[in-house]
Each structure stands twice: as C-alpha cells, then as structure tokens.
Amino acid sequence: MTHDAYYPEPLELEAYGNGGFRFGEMSHKGSLLILQSGIHGWDVSDFEEVRPINFQALFDDASSHEFLIFGTGETQRFPSRDLKEAFIEAGLGLEVMDTGAAARTYNVLISEGRKVAAALIAVD
C-alpha cells in the first residue's frame, strides 16, 4: 500500500541509501512505489512484509506498465509463489534484484522511455 507522500510523475532517482531516496531535488525517507502516475511513499520496510496487497495500486493500473522492477533491500530476495501468481494474473512482468541494482536499472529504463514501475525497499 502507498501512503500520503507523492510526486506526480516518475523521475530519475538521484541517490539511494541512508534509509531513503533523492529525486526531483527532494529527499524521501522510506521505501517507494514508482508508477507511471507518479512516485508514492510505500509502506514496506522489510522484504518479509511483502504481500500481493502491497502492489494493489500497480495492479489497478496494470495496463499503463510493462513490468515492475522490485528492489528487495540490501540483497536480492525472491518473491513468494503468491506474489508471482498475482503478477501473472495482472499480466505484468516482475524483475527482482537488490535495491541498488533496481534503482540503477529503473533509471536506465525510464531514460529509454519504457513504461516501467519500481517498488524499492529503502536501504541504509
């Protein structure tokens, strides 16, 4: 699920670490869910908390996205069967990597004009 923090368009990430992210000359403490509709604060702080419901905003607008890059924290972790099935049902691809790699990959893909979403768990 998302919370009130919101920026109305997807932007390149300028930095990550120290528990948050920098984008648009601003900083955000905590995790992010980046959709084509904008950048949202994301109420996930640990991979173990992740459930399909955490991606409902993405699933509600699945046709606007090609796939999701999921930054799972300090290390790459693999999603549960339930989460993989939720992405299949939504018709979305799911690429999983550590948050640093996910942030860098996201930046490359949006610079190419791809309609990608990102869910990034904040790292220290």
Write the DSSP string, 26-78. Answer: EEEESEEEEETTEEEEES--SGGG--GGGGHHHHHTGGG-SEEEEE-SSS---
Question: What is the per-residue pLDDT across 20-75, written as a single tens digit (0 to 9) for each?
Answer: 999 998 999 999 999 999 999 999 999 999 999 999 999 999 999 999 999 999 99
Average pLDDT over residues 84-94: 97
- Residues above pLDDT 70, as percent of the chain: 96
What is the spatial distance between Cα 8 and Cα 37, in angstroms, rounded to a whole number?
6
pLDDT category at 99 given cuts 50, 70, 90 is very high
Decide if pLDDT at 2 tops 70: no
Residue 100's pLDDT is what?
Answer: 98
Decide if pLDDT at 11 tops 80: yes
Between 30 and 4, the higher pLDDT residue: 30
Residue 1's pLDDT is what?
Answer: 55
Closest CA to 40 of 1, 87, 77, 69: 1
Three-state SS at 99: helix
Residue 4's pLDDT is what?
Answer: 56
Which domains are seen in the chain, by residue range? Answer: 2-120 (3.40.1230.10)
